[in-house]
């Protein structure tokens, strides 16, 4: 075939042979084999002459994606063909009709879906929320499209090394923001874990390498320890006649890194670097669930269990279908170790997620947690919401949710994300129950509908015909269903609200002694995110906004904060004029860098710039800033990745710390003594609140760099009575 060298042909042949070998378990007939071969030949012809950035022939990418689809996701023949063809319509002159003629409607529909997802991701005009909404819409067509897309993304992440830095950050941001959570929700644990690990590798290369090196250095010792821990288990289970495999699984770099971040501890202080997994072949004598508990009970004969750390996902599977019994046992060295107990079927569901899920579902024909979630997403998508950002936030909330089980008065169990309230529960029962809820009986005690629920609670909702939702309710719900219902209600009653809004507004203005003027509205409308007066009155009347903070709004200084004490160097070959070395705020020429207000980076932080397309100014964020990740996922081309802190010493940077402790006489004096006298740091703002003998405070201060900040945190933490100090 033209366009390929002999060497290309050899590598392509090798990779395709490997794929065919994996297809043995999915191809049932001669026509299956023919179809895969035909898809390969068409893709090879279509992509000929094209190379990836790494220099290899493009066709190796669709082959690799198909390989993931077959061997890591467990999908079938049609999905494999769609994977081979996934970039054909997007990148070459073939059309969806061509695919339909050659491969039938199913494959063509999947390729069409994949093309739309690719186009959405390449679209730099739409807002990110809209892009992700389009991607999620494919969920309601054929969920395999998303699963193949995840395979595509996984291969792109595996080969991200040859991409330029700003592309790496854009792709990594999208992966962390959407694809890893989706993989989790679809039950693709292994893939989700790898996506997170790769994301970390490209976000924080140094930290990644450091943890990886430390893991490698301690590997031998750890493996010996694991062997010692599991050998008595092996003996015990074998003696009980159980057919099983057991392995010690080392945690991923990402999970170690996130624990270090979460607990603010060094690598050396993380002890649970591995978990043990037991996978058993069930016998016919008792249900799988009972066999899980039997194994658990055998383990308690060897090691002391931690009774409050049992995770029973056998009785209550996770919403993504995950089933297993997790127990925690005391290791010989006195540290707790997690042991996961699964049957072979449970293991397949855990590793393969969705695909295994369908396989077993066909046999049982039941609606499970995954179907329920999908139904919720579909329902939400069918609502005329209009606001893509809201929608996405709602879906995202449900993607990564940790779950708890709540019971109805009749003992029926329902699942909720951690943090859900009685009001969420009310809406889950029925929209009308939610809309008229006035209180809840939680474990037979009357509580507010805003009460946060705990796993195992039994809840009964009290209603009154006269009750109705108001805007404040939105602050007290954590589920997509409740949010949607409240917003729908508030929108429905809005038309009658303009008049009410006008009278509320007039009253408040009189209270404040302000005469409404055009100038006043020019300030108010943008502050409350309204396009015109009607919208403003209507929102006011329906309590979507209130004027409680009007004082602040009116006195707000609308000027953007320009970073006063800022210096950066561009690494690499960027134009020299972008190097800002002066801290001269009055010189407009040099106001090119601004500190992002969301994350307030200071020297020592890992940073990435975002070029504001309107002003050209570069807003500097911490690399792991959530706002930046969202921006990057949307408009990656505006990222400026090669900024680093200048060695030129600037004076000081604004940072904020939060503290908490026991209130006592003189604590404030001690605090300012340490900060201003001992450490010679300027305080910009100090806010302290005291209640019930506890004081809480926020201090904004100017520090030279992260080292000084952390030494300050250290010193402040040692003041008598101070219990907790952290950077905001
Ligand atoms: Mn691709």
Model confidence pLDDT, tens digit, residues 52-95? 988 899 999 999 999 999 998 888 899 999 999 999 998 888 99
Query: What pLDDT, on a 0 to 100 scale, did the predictor assign at position 294?
Result: 94
Per-residue confidence at 553, pLDDT binned at 50, 70, 90?
A: confident
114 CA from centroid of ligand 1 (Å):
9
CATH number among 3.30.70.260, 2.40.30.10, 2.40.100.10, 3.40.50.300, domain 653-727: 3.30.70.260
Instruction: Collect contacts of 358-367 with beta carbons under 8 A, ≥24 apart.
Output: 359/74
DSSP secondary structure string for all residues of 314-329: TTS--TT----EEEEE
Cα(566)–Cα(594) distance, integer angstroms: 8
Cα of 611 from ligand 1 centre, angstroms: 28
Pairwise CA distance, residues 351 & 187, whole Å = 7
Cβ-proximal residues to 175 (8 Å cutoff; 6+ apart), any chain: 153, 157, 195, 198, 199
Give residue 153 CA to ligand 1 midpoint distance, Å: 7
Q: Which residue has the higher pLDDT, 363 or 226?
A: 226
Instruction: With cut-offs at 50, 70 and 90, classify the pLDDT of residue 599.
Output: confident
**Confidence at residue 298, expressed as pLDDT on a 0 to 100 scale:** 94
32, 90, 390, 569: the catalytic one is 90
- The per-residue pLDDT for 377 is 65
Near ion ligand 1, which residues have CB within 5 Å?
A: 87, 152
Give me the catalytic one of 32, 45, 56, 91: 91
CATH code, 212-364: 3.30.460.10
- Is 91 tagged catalytic? yes
CA 87 / ligand 1 centre spacing (Å): 6
The pLDDT assigned to 378 comes to 64
Q: What is the DSSP string of 525-584?
A: HHHTT-SSHHHHHHHHHTTSS-STTHHHHHH---SPPPPSS--EEE-SS--GGG-B----
If pLDDT is split at 50, 70 and 90, which confidence band does 723 have? Answer: confident
Average pLDDT of 95-122?
90
Indicate if the pLDDT at residue 386 is higher than 60. Answer: no
From the list 309, 337, 336, the residue with the least C-alpha distance to 325 is 309
The Å distance, Cα 58 to ligand 1 centre, comes to 9
C-alpha span between 90 and 99 (Å, rounded): 12
Domain range list for the chain: 6-162, 212-364, 381-481, 488-555, 563-645, 653-727
Model confidence pLDDT, tens digit, residues 626-684: 778 777 776 777 777 667 665 444 556 778 888 888 777 777 778 877 877 776 677 77
pLDDT of residue 716: 86
Cα 424 to middle of ligand 1, angstroms: 39
Average pLDDT over residues 36-52: 94
Q: Identify the bridge partners of residue 722 per DSSP, sorted by sequence position.
A: 661
Instruction: Please tell me the predicted confidence (pLDDT) of residue 535.
Output: 78
538-550 tens-digit pLDDT: 888 877 787 877 7
Cβ-based neighbours of 64, under 8 Å, separated by 6 or more: 15, 155, 158
- Counting beta carbons within 10 angstroms of the beta carbon of residue 685, is it exposed (0 to 12), middle (13 to 18) or buried (19 or more)? exposed
**What is the spatial distance between Cα 122 and Cα 634, in angstroms, rounded to a whole number?**
9
User: Ligand 1 centroid to 152 CA: how many Å?
Assistant: 5
CA dist 506 and 533 (Å) reads 13
Distance in Å, CA 83 to ligand 1 centroid:
9
Six token digits for residue 319: 């919403």
- Tell me, what's the pLDDT at 572? 38
Q: Tell me the CA–centroid distance for residue 29 and ligand 1, in Å.
A: 28
Side-chain-side CA neighbours of residue 674 (13 Å): 19
Diameter of the chain by CA atoms?
87
Distance (Å) from CA 182 to ligand 1 centroid: 18
Q: What is the mean pLDDT of the chain?
A: 80
Share of the chain above pLDDT 90, in %: 29
Q: Contact 244/237 with Cβ under 8 angstroms?
A: yes
Question: What is the Å distance from ligand 1's center to 135 Cα?
Answer: 15
Rg of the Cα atoms in the chain: 29
Helix (H, G, I), strand (E, B) or coil at 699: strand
Per CATH, the architecture of 381-481 is what?
Roll (3.10)
Distance, C-alpha 568 to centroid of its chain: 30
Compute the distance from residue 627 Cα to the ligand 1 centre, in Å: 27
pLDDT average, residue stretch 95-123: 89
Q: How far is the CA of 121 from the centre of ligand 1 (A)?
A: 11
How crowded is residue 670: how many other Cβ atoms within 10 Å of its Cβ?
15
Q: How far is CA 204 from CA 209, 453, 490, in A?
A: 9, 37, 44
DSSP three-state, residue 195: helix
Distance 219 CA to ligand 1 centre (A): 36
**Residue 90 falls in the annotated catalytic set:** yes
Residues 448-504: tens digit of each pLDDT: 899 999 888 889 999 888 888 887 788 888 888 888 888 888 877 766 777 788 888
Find all residues with CB under 8 Å of 27, minimum gap 6, and list them.
33, 36, 77
The 10 Å Cβ neighbour count of residue 492 is 10
CATH no., domain 6-162: 1.10.3210.10
pLDDT at residue number 467: 84
pLDDT at 373: 64
More confident of the two residues 379 and 249? 249
Ligand 1 centroid to Cα of residue 30, in Å, is 28
Q: How is 497-538 classified by DSSP, letter by letter?
A: HHHHHHHHHHHHHHHHT----HHHHHHHHHHTT-SSHHHHHH
**d(C-alpha 611, C-alpha 632), whole Å:** 11
Q: What confidence score (pLDDT) does residue 367 get?
A: 58
User: By the 8 A CB rule, do 622 and 605 touch?
Assistant: yes
The end-to-end CA distance of the chain, in Å, is 60
């Amino acid at each position: 075939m033209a366009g390929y060298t002999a060497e290309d042909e050899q590598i392509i042949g090798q990779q395709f042979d490997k794929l065919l070998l994996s297809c043995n378990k999915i191809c049932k007939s001669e026509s299956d084999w023919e179809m895969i071969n035909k898809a390969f030949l068409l893709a090879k012809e279509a992509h000929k002459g094209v190379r990836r950035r790494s220099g290899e022939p493009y066709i190796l990418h669709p082959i690799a994606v198909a390989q993931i689809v077959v061997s890591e996701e467990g999908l079938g023949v049609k999905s494999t063909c769609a994977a081979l063809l996934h970039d054909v319509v997007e990148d070459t002159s073939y059309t969806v009709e061509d695919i339909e003629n050659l491969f039938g409607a199913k494959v063509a529909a999947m390729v069409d879906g994949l093309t739309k997802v690719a186009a959405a991701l390449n679209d730099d005009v739409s807002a990110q929320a809209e892009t992700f909404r389009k991607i999620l819409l494919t969920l309601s067509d054929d969920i395999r499209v998303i699963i193949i897309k995840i395979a595509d993304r996984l291969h792109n992440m595996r080969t991200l090394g040859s991409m330029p830095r700003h592309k790496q950050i854009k792709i990594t941001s999208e992966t962390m923001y959407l694809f890893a959570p989706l993989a989790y929700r679809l039950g693709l644990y292994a893939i989700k874990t790898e996506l997170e690990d790769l994301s970390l590798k490209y976000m924080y290369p140094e930290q990644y390498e450091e943890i990886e090196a430390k893991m490698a250095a301690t590997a031998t010792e750890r493996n010996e320890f694991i062997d010692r821990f599991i050998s008595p288990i092996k003996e015990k289970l074998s003696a009980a006649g159980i057919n099983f495999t057991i392995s010690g699984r080392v945690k991923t770099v990402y999970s170690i890194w996130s624990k270090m971040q979460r607990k603010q501890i060094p690598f050396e202080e993380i002890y649970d670097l591995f978990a043990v997994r037991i996978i058993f072949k069930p016998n016919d004598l008792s249900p799988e669930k009972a066999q899980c508990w039997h194994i658990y009970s055998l383990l308690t004969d060897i090691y002391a269990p931690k009774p409050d750390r049992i995770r029973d996902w056998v009785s209550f599977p996770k919403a993504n279908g995950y089933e297993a019994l997790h127990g925690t046992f005391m290791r010989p060295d006195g540290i707790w170790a997690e042991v996961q107990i699964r049957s072979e079927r449970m293991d397949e569901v855990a590793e393969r997620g969705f695909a295994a899920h369908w396989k077993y579902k066909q046999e049982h024909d039941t609606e499970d947690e995954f179907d329920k979630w999908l139904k919720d997403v579909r329902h939400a998508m069918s609502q005329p919401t209009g606001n893509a950002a809201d929608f996405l936030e709602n879906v995202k909330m449900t993607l990564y949710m940790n779950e708890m089980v709540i019971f109805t008065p009749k003992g029926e169990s329902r699942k909720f994300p951690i943090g859900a309230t009685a009001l969420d529960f009310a809406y889950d029962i029925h929209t009308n129950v939610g809309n008229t809820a006035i209180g809840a009986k939680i474990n037979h005690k009357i509580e507010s509908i805003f009460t946060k629920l705990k796993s195992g609670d039994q809840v009964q909702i009290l209603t009154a015909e006269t009750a109705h939702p108001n805007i404040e309710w939105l602050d007290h719900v954590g589920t997509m269903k409740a949010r949607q219902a409240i917003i729908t209600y508030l929108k429905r009653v809005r038309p009658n609200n303009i008049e009410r809004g006008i009278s509320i507004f007039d009253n408040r203005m009189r209270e404040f002694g302000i005469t409404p003027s055009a100038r006043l509205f020019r300030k108010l409308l943008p502050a409350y995110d309204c396009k015109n007066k009607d919208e403003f009155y209507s929102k006011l009347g329906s309590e979507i906004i209130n004027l409680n903070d009007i004082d602040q709004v009116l006195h707000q200084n609308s000027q953007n904060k320009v970073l006063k004490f800022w210096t950066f160097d561009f690494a690499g070959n960027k134009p020299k004029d972008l190097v800002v070395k002066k801290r001269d705020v009055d010189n407009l020429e040099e106001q090119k860098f601004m500190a992002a207000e969301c994350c307030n980076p200071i020297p020592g932080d890992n940073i990435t710039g975002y070029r504001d397309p309107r002003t050209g100014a570069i807003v500097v964020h911490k690399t792991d800033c959530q706002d930046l990740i969202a921006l990057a996922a949307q408009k990656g081309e505006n990222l400026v990745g090669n900024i680093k802190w200048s060695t030129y010493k600037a004076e000081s940077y604004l940072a904020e710390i939060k503290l908490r402790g026991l209130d006592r006489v003189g604590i404030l004096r001690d605090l300012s003594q340490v900060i201003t006298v001992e450490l010679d740091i300027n305080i910009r703002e100090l806010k302290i609140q005291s209640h019930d003998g506890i004081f809480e405070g926020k201090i904004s201060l100017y520090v030279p760099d992260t080292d000084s900040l952390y030494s300050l945190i250290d010193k402040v933490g040692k003041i008598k009575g101070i219990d907790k100090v952290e950077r905001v």
